[in-house]
Amino acid sequence: MDSNSTKYITRNNGEITSIEGKLSQEQSNLNNSNLRDDEKRIIEQGIHDLKQQKQDYIMANETLEREIT
């Protein structure tokens, strides 16, 4: 395995873990019954964006893994 690719995969995995923590926090925030509709929409958009970022890192790792095999 290429050492640079390994570094990128490791870094990406760290980013994925960080995003998962943020997702968990945002999903907890969304459960607040005192939120106004506009606040809920903002949080929902943030959750959507975080899920997309996570997917981007997963796809990047898959690409790196294919390139080094």
Average pLDDT over residues 33-62: 98
**CB-based contact 51:27 (threshold 8 Å):** no
| pTM of structure | 0.89
Burial class (CB in 10 A: 0-12, 13-18, 19+), 23: middle
Q: What is the pLDDT of residue 1?
A: 53
Residue 68 pLDDT > 80: yes
Residue 14 pLDDT > 80: yes
Q: How many residues does the chain have?
A: 69
